[in-house]
């Protein structure tokens, strides 16, 4: 049997991995060096090397400047790398599962379900008089429960007419589920007016962190998501040739889709729980890489993690510096970039979504 282009083996060229690593390092250095207090990138790099065991380099920075790097900016940059990588990875996985280039982590009601779970936790905390800035450890769990519940409801609606329903049916079901969950979230916010300010700030997206708490909270979920999705990168290429050929090759398409959807939803829920609703990362990064590096998921998935993290870190830098001393919600910046990009992708497809 002759496989289509999507299923043919493709190698991840070392040059692309190097480019991705350089993008991550450059974005991290920019995020650490620039802000209300600008620091020399070379001194910042030296101070980062000082974090390694046995390394001691005179960076020329004061104790206050070192504290700005290690205690304020570094946790935020690391969080941006993780969240951006997860959103881009999930977007690539969704697009492969549904063979739909417009799919992203907000498809299937995943973001809406996770948002409803986080809103419930925030509203409950504010109602109980808890004024701490750190998110509770249970937030990712609540987000995941909401995300998985949304995926389950969408899947049941999408396949209600039989196992052979097209991916487009699931996408339409996801739109309906998202509308319902958004309405439920709005109702919950109105019932707990005292939490409106905090929930609204979270909805617009932000990477503000009070230390390493959010990083430690989201990292285990990100590791599990990346491990599962990257292990299925060849499976996604096989799914791209169609269910009939995939079955002939010994793959169970429905089972593979469920595993990938669960993993991608876990990563999305974890990212949403600490960063809020940041849109378009799962469309901008995969599509750009697809145009430059090819369509094979063996190439796209690893690069999505690297370039997705770099993209969101640089976007966050813009969000916190373009209107200094004020800070623009990062979701606003990604929307400004993503909306025109979405239109270009839609036009290039000639209106086709499947």
Nearest to 96 by CA among 264, 279, 297: 297
CATH 1.10.238.10 fits 5-349, yes or no: no
Check residue 102 and report its DSSP letter: T
DSSP state of 212: S
The DSSP call for residue 64 is H
DSSP 241: T
Q: Which residues of 314-344 are buried (b: 16+ CB within 10 A; e: fewer)?
A: bbbbebbbeeeeebbbbbebbbeebeeebee
| Token pair in block for residue 55 | 């390394």
Sequence-distant contacts of 316-322: CB under 8 A, at least 24 apart: 316/31, 316/76, 316/80, 316/207, 317/27, 317/30, 317/31, 317/34, 317/35, 320/35, 321/34, 321/35, 321/36
Token pair of 24, please?
């991550």
Sequence spans of domains, the chain: 5-349
Residue 275 tokens, joined: 């960063």
Locate all alpha helices (DSSP H) within the chain, ordered by sequence: 14-33, 41-49, 63-67, 74-98, 110-127, 139-158, 167-191, 196-203, 213-231, 233-239, 243-248, 253-275, 281-293, 297-321, 330-349
What string of pLDDT tens digits covers the 354 residues of the chain? Answer: 344 444 445 678 899 999 999 999 999 999 999 988 999 999 999 999 999 998 899 999 999 999 999 999 999 999 999 999 999 999 999 999 888 777 787 777 888 898 888 888 888 776 666 655 555 556 778 888 888 888 888 878 877 755 545 656 777 888 889 899 989 988 888 887 776 777 777 777 888 776 888 899 899 999 999 999 999 999 999 988 888 888 888 889 989 988 998 899 889 988 988 888 888 899 999 999 999 998 899 999 999 999 999 999 999 999 999 988 888 989 899 989 988 888 887 777 665 544
Contact 94, 264 (CB under 8 A): yes
pLDDT of residue 8: 46
Q: Which residue has the tokens 């700030």?
A: 201
Evaluate the CA torsion angle 126, 127, 130, 136 in order and state its sign. negative
């Amino acid at each position: 049997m002759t496989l289509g282009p999507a299923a043919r083996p493709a190698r991840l060229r070392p040059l692309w991995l190097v480019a991705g690593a350089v993008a991550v390092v450059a974005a991290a250095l920019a995020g650490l060096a620039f802000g209300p207090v600008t620091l020399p990138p070379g001194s910042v790099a030296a101070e980062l090397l000082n974090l390694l065991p046995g390394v001691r380099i005179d960076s020329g920075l004061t104790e206050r400047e070192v504290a700005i790097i290690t205690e304020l900016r570094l946790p935020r940059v690391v969080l941006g790398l993780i969240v951006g990588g997860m959103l881009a990875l999930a977007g690539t996985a969704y697009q492969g599962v549904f063979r739909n280039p417009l799919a992203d982590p907000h498809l299937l009601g995943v973001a809406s379900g996770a948002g409803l779970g986080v809103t419930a936790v925030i509203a409950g905390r504010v109602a109980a008089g808890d004024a701490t800035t750190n998110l509770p450890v249970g937030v990712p769990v609540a987000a995941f429960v909401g995300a998985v519940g949304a995926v389950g409801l969408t899947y049941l609606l999408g396949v209600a007419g039989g196992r052979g329903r097209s991916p487009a049916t699931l996408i339409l079901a996801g739109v309906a589920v998202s509308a319902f969950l958004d309405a439920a979230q709005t109702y919950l916010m109105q019932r707990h007016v005292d939490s409106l300010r905090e929930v609204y700030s979270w909805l617009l997206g932000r990477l503000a962190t009070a230390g390493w708490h959010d990083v430690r909270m989201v990292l285990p979920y990100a590791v599990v998501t990346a491990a599962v999705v990257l292990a299925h990168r060849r499976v996604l290429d096989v799914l791209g040739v169609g269910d009939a050929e995939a079955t002939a090759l010994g793959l169970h398409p429905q089972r593979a889709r469920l595993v990938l959807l669960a993993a991608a939803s876990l990563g999305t829920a974890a990212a949403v729980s600490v960063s809020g609703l940041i849109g378009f990362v799962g469309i901008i990064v995969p599509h750009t890489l697809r145009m430059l590096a090819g369509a094979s998921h063996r190439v796209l998935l690893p690069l999505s993690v690297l370039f997705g993290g770099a993209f969101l870190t640089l976007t966050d830098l813009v969000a916190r510096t373009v209107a200094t001393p004020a800070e623009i919600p990062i979701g606003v910046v990604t929307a400004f970039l993503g909306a025109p990009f979405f239109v270009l992708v839609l036009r290039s497809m000639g209106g086709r979504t499947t």
